[in-house]
Structure 1
Amino acid sequence: MSNNGTDLTTGFISSIVAILLFGSNFVPLKKYETGDGMFLQWVLCAAIWLVALVVNLILHCPKFWPFAMVGGCIWATGNIAVVPIIKTIGLGLGILIWGSFNALIGWASSRFGWFGMDAEEVSKPLLNYIGAGLSVVRGCSLAVISGILYGSTFVPIIYIKDHSKRNDSIYAGASQNDLDYVFAHFSGIFLASTVYFLAYCIAMKNNPKLYPKAVLPGFLSGILWAIATCCWFVANHSLSAVVSFPIITAGPGFIAAMWGVFMFKEIQGRQNYLLMILAFCIILAGALCTAFSKI
């Protein structure tokens, strides 16, 4: 198989794994009381950082670029709203909405070269536009804000990679392997989440709401998310962000909806089932269009 064929296979397999894990990573937390989520997000981010440490050691500690931490800080900021979203509008709908806006921002910034990045070309632009459009057919306040922040999380890494090809850039010679930035990215997540948690403790006059029973489920959730994100990094490298974003951000909503239907009974009634099936068909069509735009 050619290198291009191998990259495509690796990219799509990584995308599938990421979709399954992103759609399931909040499941361990669903039945546990998590309060306002501030303590939980810190536990989750601690688990994420530990996975990054393991990956970094496996990769023999590639060069650390502090700017890559910015994307992690942005993600942690969006993550603060996750618990209120799940508690108010449900796991399935929440992931569907923020996933849609995540897809829109992430795809557009890569496709059109926003924020100083190089615009990415695909062999079938029309299919790519259709795929991205079909992947974004929803909207709702907190989830929209989270989606916008999530969609910006990879911008610093892509910026470093793009500018590594320019001799006059401070990032000249930086690695083109997305996994080499995992440790810096996840360190940004843990740093920002720690700052937010300390600010929360100060605001609560050193009496934060802690939920011990949510620690192990939260840690498991963080590990699942971290593995999924590592797969996303691989998919970005193999497929390019302009292809991986619409696929990976749209798919988890359907997986989460399946959990909502069969495990948590969040979605009931024939009409709602039909709407969910319609949403799945739109998501699948969008993912297929995006995938074929690369081939």
Structure 2
Amino acid sequence: MPTEGSLKSSGSASSQRTQPPIIAFTASAVAVFFFGSTFVPVKKFDVGDGMFFQWVLCFAIWTVGAIVHFIQRSPIFWHLAMVGGFLWATGNIMVVPIVKTIGLALGLLLWASFNMLTGWAISRFGWFGLDPEPVQNPILSYVGVALSVISIIMFLFITTDDQSSQPTEECDQINACERGLRRQPVKADEKRTDNKNDESWVQSLSPLQKKVLGCSLAIIAGILYGSSFVPVLYIKNQGKKNTPGYEGASQNDLDYVPAQCVGIFVASTIYFFIYCVAMNKRGKVYPETIIPGLLSGALLASASCGWSVANRYLTSVVSFPIITAGPGFIAAVWGVLMFKEVKGLKNYVLLIVGFCFILAGSLAIVFSKA
């Protein structure tokens, strides 16, 4: 007959089993929506080559990281976790060219797919010194990966209406206002030079070159994003085994967010400094993108916090498919309904079917763990 103490223990265990899934899936939903909406605030603004914008975005990420550091009562700062921030920031500098060449919807779908595949492979096979995470049904896991690969191939056949290939009416008005404020006539030669500097390597590409460049950068960015959690997972694994130097390492992913945010801001500052030196006073700074950049950075950092909370209760083999598949759908909805990036019945069919494949693949990977 169970004692009163055992009943309390059983009730407590039942409560713990019920509460973590609610927290985990709520945090996952927040992460999915925020990741998919990250670049919506800045989509209508001219960000030039994106280097100044990404620095502003990363500053906002660092600010949120500092807030999390105080909320978590200043946990141990692991410098190794900053490496993940460096990897993420390196992928992030490719986002603006990706959006300008293949659009927000297709770009995010591609890098989210490779983000998922990279994270799954690292966790499943234990790459980079991590302990491999076993699954109950390996065949189902591999089927999920195959479905995700098929979705990626389908996304490559989607053609996007690149609205950034031509100057927008808003940008023309901004340029006209700036010229009016200077109250200096702009000569034809100067105008041609300004347009050449603004359009440069992205806008001068052919549609095929844009497609190849944008898809290639999206793949690289996805791999970097998927690898950015490796340092944190490595610290946690070593902490579980009480490896010298890692004793007492927190198993709460949220405790590593501040270090990752610092790594992101440091890396972005280094890249921006190199850019300024290389451009030799010809770099483009757009003040009107500061507020949208801060909003985008806050969304990204908040999404990362949600992901970290989900990782606390779900293994990375489960959380990666859920949180990397969802943002593609959110971005596609934004891209189709608001920005009109994807048009035509063929593209709509490819987009919907491709997303169904990646969703089915993600669910297969999740259920293979059960």
Give your verdict on TM over 0.5. yes
Structure ranking higher on relative contact order (CA contacts 8 Å, 6+ apart): 2
Match of residue 346 from structure 2: 271
Alpha-carbon deviation of 1:17? 1.4
The within-5 A match list for 1:1-295 is: 1-136=14-149, 137-138=151-152, 140-295=215-370
In 2 relative to 1, CA 39–188 (structure 1 residues): closer, same or farther, beyond 3 Å?
Answer: same
Residue by residue over 1:214-239, the C-alpha shift from the partner in whole angstroms, topping out at 9 and shown as x without a partner, is 11001100000110011111112211
Gap runs ≥5 in structure 2: 1-13, 157-214
Residue by residue over 1:188-241, the C-alpha shift from the partner in whole angstroms, topping out at 9 and shown as x without a partner, is 000000000011111111442101111100110000011001111111221111
Q: CA RMSD in A?
A: 1.5
CA contact (8 A) 1:43 1:219 kept: yes
TM-score, structure 2 as length reference? 0.77
Asked which structure has the greater CA Rg, the reply is 2
Alpha-carbon deviation of 1:28? 0.7
Alpha-carbon deviation of 1:15? 1.5
For 1:169 and 1:242, how far apart are their aligned partners in 2?
Answer: 27
CA contact (8 A) 2:108 2:327 kept: yes
Letter in 2 for 1:174: A
For 1:28 and 1:145, how far apart are their aligned partners in 2?
Answer: 24
In 2 relative to 1, CA 16–121 (structure 1 residues): closer, same or farther, beyond 3 Å?
Answer: same
Gap runs ≥5 in structure 1: none
Residue by residue over 1:109-139, the C-alpha shift from the partner in whole angstroms, topping out at 9 and shown as x without a partner, is 0111000011112333333333343334326
Partner-residue secondary structure (3-state), 1:42: helix
Letter in 2 for 1:123: Q
Residue by residue over 1:246-283, the C-alpha shift from the partner in whole angstroms, topping out at 9 and shown as x without a partner, is 22112111111111110011111111111111122112
Identity %: 60
Partner-residue secondary structure (3-state), 1:34: coil
Alpha-carbon deviation of 1:14? 1.5
For 1:134 and 1:241, how far apart are their aligned partners in 2?
Answer: 19
Alpha-carbon deviation of 1:54? 0.7
Alpha-carbon deviation of 1:2? 4.4
CA contact (8 A) 2:321 2:363 kept: no
Letter in 1 for 2:261: F
For 2:102 and 2:133, how far apart are their aligned partners in 1?
Answer: 35
CA contact (8 A) 1:132 1:246 kept: no
